[in-house]
Amino acid sequence: MAKICNQAQDWLDHHYSFGHAIALRYFSMECTGRINRDDFDPKTDTDLLAHVKECSECYAWIVENVGLELLERQKRLTEYCCPVLFGAVEEPKGGNLQLKLTPYPQRDGGHNWSLSLDSGSGEESTLIVNFCPFCGNLIQTADHSSL
């Protein structure tokens, strides 16, 4: 194993500590500013992550340590504006409020998001939403056209 591989894997292990964070960092090229450690250097983080993304040995290390299922889940998470929207769409908890992608295409090639409320009497109210009801960001419609 190359020295850079050891350095990158040690870096991820030390600064991201657990599988969810390592997998999420793998799919996000934006340096996370929430790491509050004296030994954290954003440039080193970005450089080592660039290596990890290009190295088959490092990818195999991530799969071995994180697991393919979690890695795939975290990849999907990065396609949403926030983790709450991801959970609402991909891991709904049930109930009568549902956020889903509707099959009505938009001019940009994406699809509309709708917020549906089932009153319990069999009637459903639907509201088309353009902004995330959780974080307020514009929902990127083209990213999820395959859902």
pLDDT tens-digit profile of 67-87? 999 989 888 888 888 888 888
In the predicted structure, residue 31 carries a pLDDT above the cut 80 = no
pTM, 2 dp: 0.66
One-letter amino acid of 26: Y
In the predicted structure, residue 34 carries a pLDDT above the cut 60 = no
Of 53, 3, 1, nearest in space to 23 by CA: 53
Looking at residue 121, its pLDDT comes to 67
Of 113, 107, 105, 104, nearest in space to 131 by CA: 113
> Is pLDDT larger for residue 132 or for residue 1?
132
> Is pLDDT larger for residue 6 or for residue 91?
6
28: exposed, middle or buried (Cβ count in 10 Å: 0-12, 13-18, 19+): middle
